[in-house]
């Protein structure tokens, strides 16, 4: 048996560090985008679904590729040592400073 709790597009979190509005945060094995800023210890919520423009490094990323979040908050195609972020929603050239990512896909 299962009881419905919520749709799952947002998750409630308690900030373990200061969080800025729309900052990408790692929560266990998922990433989320903060819906509000929060100070350490404050509760807020973060989006766990959708397509977001997230900064990236200077590598090319192909539409549909699995992408990962580095410890400095940038998107990369390199899995090792990084947190799975989702799927690249469009191509990004090496010169692009952001990548469109469908998070947690």
Q: Contact, 31 vs 40, CB < 8 A?
A: no
The reply to whether 72 and 99 lie within a common domain is: yes
Computed over every residue of the chain, the mean pLDDT equals 96
What is the extent of the structural domain holding 75? Answer: 51-103
The pLDDT-based confidence of 6 (bands split at 50, 70, 90) is confident
The reply to whether 55 and 82 lie within a common domain is: yes
11: left (phi over 0), alpha (psi -120 to 50) or beta: beta
The reply to whether 67 and 35 lie within a common domain is: no
Q: Which helix (H) or strand (E) holds 89?
A: none
- Distance CA(14)–CA(41), nearest Å, equals 6
Q: Contact, 94 vs 59, CB < 8 A?
A: yes
Q: What is the pTM of this model?
A: 0.91
Copy the structure tokens of residue 61. 């990323």
The reply to whether 55 and 85 lie within a common domain is: yes
51-100 residue pLDDT tens:
999 999 999 999 999 999 999 999 999 999 999 999 999 999 999 999 99
The reply to whether 62 and 95 lie within a common domain is: yes
Q: Contact, 24 vs 54, CB < 8 A?
A: yes
The reply to whether 74 and 96 lie within a common domain is: yes
Q: Does 76 fall in a domain?
A: yes
Q: How many distinct structural domains can be found in the chain? A: 2
What's the confidence (pLDDT) of residue 73? 95
The reply to whether 65 and 39 lie within a common domain is: no
What's the confidence (pLDDT) of residue 92? 98
């Amino acid at each position: 048996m299962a009881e419905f709790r919520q749709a799952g597009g947002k998750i409630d979190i308690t900030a373990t560090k200061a969080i800025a509005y729309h900052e990408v945060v790692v929560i266990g094995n998922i990433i989320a985008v903060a819906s509000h800023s929060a100070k350490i210890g404050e509760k807020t919520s973060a989006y766990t679904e959708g397509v977001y423009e997230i900064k990236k490094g200077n590598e090319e990323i192909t539409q549909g590729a699995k992408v990962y979040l580095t410890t400095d908050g940038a998107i990369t195609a390199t899995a090792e040592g990084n947190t799975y972020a989702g799927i690249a929603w469009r191509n990004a050239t090496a010169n692009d400073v952001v990548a469109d990512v469908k998070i947690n896909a």
